[in-house]
Structure 1
């Protein structure tokens, strides 16, 4: 955990953690090896087309509608989409960080 991340709530199940995720909080596993990693929910909405592959589906403003999805902030400060593993879903070491 980065020094500037303060733990708000800890030892949550994934189900409990999802409630906080839907409220816009950042989550991480206590036992993750990656320092500073956390997951968060990206709200759905209309976003400007960034890929030629999807351009033909854009509206008149060159945007497409995206559904909400989960993302992870990686150790190297990049962002990726994220899908929890079975271990993540069964874990009881989730925590909410500021």
Structure 2
């Protein structure tokens, strides 16, 4: 699949990886954001987005705390997690994305 489909799948709770990555067991996943009263906002349908990002990608944060935006993360081959993973130009152009 292409990058766009992979990112949409990750936003919907899936994990995605490139078949061409050398490190096996690597994948991209989404760490949810947090926002005060995020659940209440969604239930009331007061807004569908928070800072232009789908409200369902947020968990409840503590009252009077800053909004933490969702972030794409990478599970590296050594088992570590890279928070705030950014796709390379090759990753974005690749057609070998797959769900894991």
Tell me, yes or no, whether TM beats 0.5: yes
Return the offset for 1:39. Answer: 0.5
Return the offset for 1:63. Answer: 5.5
- RMSD of the TM alignment (CA)? 2.1
Count matched residues: 74
The aligned residue for residue 20 of structure 2 is 31
Which digits, 9 at most, give the CA deviation of each residue in 1:13-55, with x for residues without a partner?
A: 0011111011010000000000100001111015xxxxxxxxx
Larger RCO (CA within 8 A; separation ≥ 6): 1
The aligned residue for residue 29 of structure 2 is 40
Higher strand fraction (1 or 2): 1
Q: Tell me the TM-score normalised to structure 1 length.
A: 0.67
- The runs of at least 4 aligned residues of structure 1 exceeding 2 Å deviation read 60-65
Q: Structure 1: state its 5+ residue gaps.
A: 1-11, 47-59
Residue 3 of structure 2 corresponds to residue 14 of structure 1: yes
